Each structure stands twice: as C-alpha cells, then as structure tokens.
C-alpha cells in the first residue's frame, strides 16, 4: 500500500479503429473508475508516431478516441480528457526517464520485439523508448492506478522499475525537499517521489482474443476484419462477426474449469461476462449445457445493446468536431497545470536551473 493520493491514469493510441478489446480491456474500466476517483484519460498521439511517422488523418484519429471516451460515458468536466502532445511535460519527463532506464530493461520488452519484427536495426528509437514515455505519461501526474488490458502488464512493471530507480538515485535530493513520501515497497521502507503504479488488469476480459483464432489477441493489425468487432461496426456487422466466430463443436460447460483448453469458448464467455458486468461463472450458470446456436444470438443481442448507443453517440460527436476540440483544449490546459507542478519539483530534484 502506498500513501500517495489515488490518481487514475490511462491512455489509448489514435491508431486505426478501436475494437472490442480496447473497449472491454480499457475504456469500459475507465468509465467504471470515475466514481469517487480522480481520473485522467489521455489520447497518446506521440506514441502513435512510433507506429507510423506520417499518420493518416491524425487530427480525426485523435478526435475519434476522445469521442469514444465521451460516448462510452467518461465525463470530461469532472475528469480530464486530453491529448498527450498538448502537454509537453510528458516528453520532458520521458527524457529524464530515458536517462534512468537501462538498455537491458528495454531489450526485454516483448511488445518491442513483436513490433520491431526481424529487422530490429531498422526500428525507430521512438519505438524502443516507448515504455519510457509511457512511464512518464503516468508519473507526470504521480498516477497510482492504471486500468489497461493484459498486454500492457510488462510496460507497467517497467514503469515501477523506473519510478523505483529514480527514487533511489535521487534519494538524497528528494530528502532535501518536502516533496517525498515514506512508503513501503515489499517490506522495504522507501522515501519516494514517484509512486509504484498499480496495474488494474482484472475482470472477465483482460485479453480479448480474435474471433477467428482464440489463441491470438484481438488486434487492429489483424488482416481479417472478421477477427474483431470495431466500435464503429453496425448491428449487421456485429451480428455477422459473432455468428461466424470460430467455436468448437461442444456445448457450453456449466463451470469455468470446463473452459480450459477451449480458447474460443472461453473468449466468447469472457466477452459476454464483460459486456453484462457479470462473472464468467455467473454466465455459465445461465448458459451451461447450451449450444453455441443458442449462446451466439444472445451474445449478438447483448453486444448490439451495449455498443450501438456508443457508436451512435460517437458518430454524433464526430459530426461537429468543434465540441470535441474544445473539450480537448480544456482538458489539455488542466493537464498542463498539473503536470507542471510535478515538473517544477522534478527539475529541482535533478538539479536543473530553471
Ligand atoms: P493501445 O492503444 O494499444 O490499447 C489501448 C488499451 O486497450 C487495451 N487492449 C486490449 N485489452 C484487452 N484485449 C485486447 N485484445 C486488447 N487490445 C488492446 C490495451 O491493453 C490498452 O489498455 N501503450 C498503450 C497506451 C499508453 C498507455 C500509457 C496506457 C500509452 N501511455 C499510459 C496506460 C498508461 C497502448 O499501446 O495501448
């Protein structure tokens, strides 16, 4: 347990269409966390440059993520919704973290290995340093809790390593100020400037899998559009994709244990549970013993009921971008003010004259 003030932070990249994995693994959790928490939700446009330097229609991609946040139920007045590049303090802290993080740590990042592919020499330095910017995103607000899908777990462990090393490297200087807090990490007492971030990954769908192959993650880069449900899909597309989703010939088990070794069944039950805010056990108590010919139409109805209003509201928000733009400007201004409080202290701790 740390005693830092609880601050929830998360980010989504403006790269291509959002899909059900992004919604269930991240955005739906962002919405639920609003109650009683201080939340900051960011469109991480600087991260998107690591995928493609010339990004097609970047402004509208940024707007559409903000629209998805708001259409899903995030309140940008009570909380903060903004785009990363409008708050330069993220990049400033990322540089300091580049000097704290070790190359060996970066070399272990599985997402870098996957994204860089075989020709690693040709990958950008930005892609390599990506997790360091991600740590800065969170820690520039001294964020404590980060709702994400399972694929971001390793990056968040790295954020903890960076925070810990900064706290230890600068311990003497942190002590000279009144910016630090005494926390316990494991059983060790540490006088910390940055908190140890807690990933919030749990839930029935921390890793939504492809509808075509239950062993592969649902992803925007899958060449088959049938593999994913996009947030902008209409009722017909949702229905077709679920009807065509790969399954095995057996009926549904009545207990969660019976999903072992059945990745497609497990995935569809997890999706149902997450969309209905129920547990997998609860869903199986209802559908155990039923065939997919019964379960799939129920899943189509549920998915359409949950997603259609979001899609409609996203379309409405995107039809007049002035509202989204004003929301992002307002969010960025508030984010900048908070990030600057941290950066003033960080500059002082590392010894910069400012
Ligand atoms: P990104 O933009 O790839 O994905 C956004 C969120 O969606 C989750 N997600 C999934 N969850 C479950 N099943 C899936 N198939 C699935 N696919 C994607 C991701 O885990 C993520 O939560 N590095 C981050 C963005 C980022 C960030 C941050 C996140 C940048 N700075 C700071 C948290 C805190 C990313 O690429 O997410």
- Residue 338 is encoded by which pair of tokens? 């908070």
Q: What is the pLDDT of residue 285?
A: 98
Residues with Cβ within 8 Å of residue 149, at least 6 apart in sequence: 21, 22, 25, 26, 201, 206, 207, 208
Q: Which atom of ligand 1 is nearest to the CA of 149?
A: 20
Q: What is the pLDDT of residue 2?
A: 52
HSE-up of 208 (CA within 13 Å, CB side)? Answer: 26
Does one domain contain both 52 and 136?
A: yes
Does one domain contain both 137 and 122?
A: yes
In a domain, 105, yes or no: yes
Does one domain contain both 306 and 327?
A: no
Does one domain contain both 192 and 112?
A: yes
Q: How far is residue 205's CA from residue 272's CA, in Å, rounded to a whole number?
A: 9
At residue 114's C-alpha, the angle toward residues 110 and 119, to 5°, is: 120
Question: Rounded to whole angstroms, what are the CA distances from 158 to 75, 85, 108, 109, 302?
Answer: 30, 22, 10, 9, 37
For the chain, list residues with pLDDT below 70.
1-2
State the CATH number of the domain containing residue 109.
3.40.50.620
| C-alpha 294 – ligand 1 centre gap (Å) | 32
Q: Comparing C-alpha atoms, which of 146, 150, 246 is closest to residue 199?
A: 146
Q: Which atom of ligand 1 is nearest to the CA of 150?
A: 20
Q: What is the pLDDT of residue 3?
A: 84
The helix/strand/coil state of 217 is strand
Does one domain contain both 174 and 272?
A: no
- Number of folded domains that form the chain: 2
Does one domain contain both 32 and 51?
A: yes
- Residue 89 is encoded by which pair of tokens? 């303090």
Q: Supply the residue whose CA is at minimum distance from atom 9 of ligand 1.
A: 22
Does one domain contain both 248 and 309?
A: yes
Residue 295: which domain range? 225-318
Does one domain contain both 142 and 284?
A: no
Q: Comparing C-alpha atoms, which of 200, 69, 192 is closest to residue 139?
A: 192
Does one domain contain both 93 and 187?
A: yes
Does one domain contain both 56 and 187?
A: yes
Does one domain contain both 134 and 260?
A: no
Span 234-245, pLDDT tens digits: 999 999 999 999
The helix/strand/coil state of 184 is strand
| C-alpha 23 – ligand 1 centre gap (Å) | 10
At residue 349's C-alpha, the angle toward residues 348 and 354, to 5°, is: 20
Span 48-105, pLDDT tens digits: 999 877 777 899 999 999 999 999 999 999 999 999 999 999 999 999 999 999 999 9
């Amino acid at each position: 347990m740390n005693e830092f003030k609880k601050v929830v932070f998360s980010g989504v990249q403006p790269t291509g269409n959002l899909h059900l994995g992004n919604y269930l693994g991240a955005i739906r959790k962002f919405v639920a966390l609003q109650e009683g928490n201080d939340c900051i939700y960011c469109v991480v446009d600087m991260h998107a440059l690591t995928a493609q330097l010339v990004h097609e229609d970047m402004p509208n991609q940024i707007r559409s993520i903000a629209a998805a946040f708001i259409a899903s139920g995030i309140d940008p007045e009570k909380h903060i919704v903004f785009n990363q590049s409008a708050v330069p303090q993220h990049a400033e802290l990322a540089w300091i973290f580049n000097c704290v993080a070790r190359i060996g740590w970066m070399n272990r990042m599985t997402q870098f290995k996957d994204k860089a592919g075989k020709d690693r020499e040709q990958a950008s330095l930005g892609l390599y340093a990506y997790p360091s910017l991600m740590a800065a995103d969170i820690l520039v607000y001294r964020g404590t809790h980060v709702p994400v899908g399972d694929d971001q777990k390793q990056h968040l462990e790295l954020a903890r390593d960076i925070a810990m090393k900064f706290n230890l490297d600068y311990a003497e200087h942190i002590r000279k100020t009144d910016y630090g807090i005494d926390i316990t990490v494991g059983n060790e007492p540490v006088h910390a400037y940055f908190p140890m971030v807690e990933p919030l990954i749990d839930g029935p769908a921390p890793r939504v899998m492809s509808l075509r192959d239950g062993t592969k993650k649902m992803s925007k880069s899958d060449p088959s559009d049938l593999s994913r449900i996009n947030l902008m899909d209409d009722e017909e597309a949702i229905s077709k994709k679920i009807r065509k989703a790969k399954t095995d010939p057996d009926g549904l088990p009545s207990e969660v244990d019976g999903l072992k070794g059945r990745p497609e069944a497990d995935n569809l039950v997890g999706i149902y549970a997450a969309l209905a805010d129920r547990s997998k056990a609860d869903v199986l108590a209802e559908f155990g013993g039923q065939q997919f010919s019964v379960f799939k139409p129920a899943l189509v109805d549920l998915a359409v009921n949950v997603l259609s209003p979001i899609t409609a509201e996203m379309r409405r928000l995107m039809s007049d971008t002035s509202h989204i733009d004003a929301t992002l400007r307002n969010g960025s201004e508030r984010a900048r003010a908070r990030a600057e409080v941290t950066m003033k202290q960080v500059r002082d701790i590392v010894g910069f004259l400012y």
